[in-house]
Structure 1
Amino acid sequence: MTGVSQTWSSFMPAPFLATDPAFADLLDSSFTRLVGRPLIPTHGTEAEPAHWLYERAPFCVLAHNTADDPIFIYGNKAVQRCFEYDWEELTRLPSRLSAELPNREERQRLLDIVRRQGFIGDYTGIRIAKSGRRFVIENAIVWELFDDAGTRHGQAAMFASWHDISE
């Protein structure tokens, strides 16, 4: 991420962040450094990478900032469908509210591990949609968002597999 002066750590996103090339680069470069493979494919995407990640990615990507009570600052269209929030709703939502109260401690333990280790590659956990629908995300990768200068901007998650919980 060269020439980027934007800091997203306490940033309340505007609609442009959805397809902002610098933010997509932050997601991709931090993922690549930590996980060892790119988040955004270098071939096979006919659209600009940020637009592809937001509109067409066949997996969910979401990120929150570094506030004491982190707020989601990004959620691609797949996340919006999964969690049933549009961009404006999602990017005002404290990320802790993506888990039900009994599951928030488990979620916080995960985030603490990610903070210490840089990423975790096989997370499974229960989440809740806007409607109250409960679902399990499987094999999620959760990682720290660090730019090339080492500035921490938050945490992100990517998952391609989820299923509703039957009552």
Structure 2
Amino acid sequence: MILPNGGVGVGPDHAERLIHSYRRLTGNELLPGPESSGSLTERLFLSPIVVLSHGTEDDPVLNYGNQAALNLWEMDWETFTRTPSRYTAEEMERTQRVQLLKKVQEQGYADDYTGIRISRSGRRFYIKKATVWNITDEDGRYAGQAACFSEFEYC
């Protein structure tokens, strides 16, 4: 299997930012289990937990999605990482999404999010118990937001 390489937000630095920001804010591990089973980047990409993130643009663009996220949204890496994150939700769900992201921006994270999302082909799915958190770099500067969840059902 070929893992994504190159591009914005890819590689060990971004994987570490996601994992360390999650741990610092929630007190939990994003990747539970033994650390000796592959590189951090590989473990995150192959995790069964859906993990995705976007950058800091005015209209944030997705900059990471692990294989579970790519499968769920029915996109390849190149398409996913060129997609404005607002397009992961249907238009009628975007107001709720904006409110959530503002809450996360102010509080650091939210661990109780539920909402409807839509794949590239138009397939709707209901996310349950998602955690959304702010990503910070090594110097504590804001670097975007990420989300993870393992529970969803198709609508």
TM-score by length of 1: 0.86
Give, in whole Å, the separation in 2 of the partners of 1:45 and 1:134. 36
How many matched pairs? 151
Q: 1:16: how far off?
A: 2.9
Q: Which residue of 2 aligns with 1:141?
A: 131
TM-score by length of 2: 0.92
Given that 2:10 and 2:64 are in contact with CA atoms closer than 8 Å, whether structure 1 keeps it comes out as: no
Q: Which residue of 1 aligns with 2:116?
A: 126
Q: Does structure 1 residue 27 correspond to structure 2 residue 18?
A: yes
Q: Can you give the 5+ residue segments of structure 1 that lack an aligned partner in the other structure?
A: 1-13
Identical aligned residues as a percent: 42
Given that 2:10 and 2:63 are in contact with CA atoms closer than 8 Å, whether structure 1 keeps it comes out as: no
Please, what is the CA RMSD of the aligned residues?
A: 1.6
Closer, same or farther in 2 for the Cα pair 1:142/1:103, shift >3 Å? same
Given that 1:136 and 1:162 are in contact with CA atoms closer than 8 Å, whether structure 2 keeps it comes out as: yes
| Aligned pair partner of 2:78 in 56, 69, 88 | 88
Q: Does structure 1 residue 37 correspond to structure 2 residue 35?
A: no
Give, in whole Å, the separation in 1 of the partners of 2:117 and 2:80. 14
Closer, same or farther in 2 for the Cα pair 1:44/1:26, shift >3 Å? closer
Q: Which residue of 1 aligns with 2:104?
A: 114
1:111-157, CA deviations, whole angstroms, 9 ceiling, x for partnerless residues? 00000000000100000000001100110000000123111110000
Q: Can you give the 5+ residue segments of structure 2 that lack an aligned partner in the other structure?
A: none
Query: Which residue identity lines up with residue 162 of structure 1 in the other structure?
Result: F
Runs of at least 4 residues off by over 6 Å: none
| Aligned pair partner of 1:161 in 143, 151, 155 | 151
Give, in whole Å, the separation in 1 of the partners of 2:133 and 2:21. 8
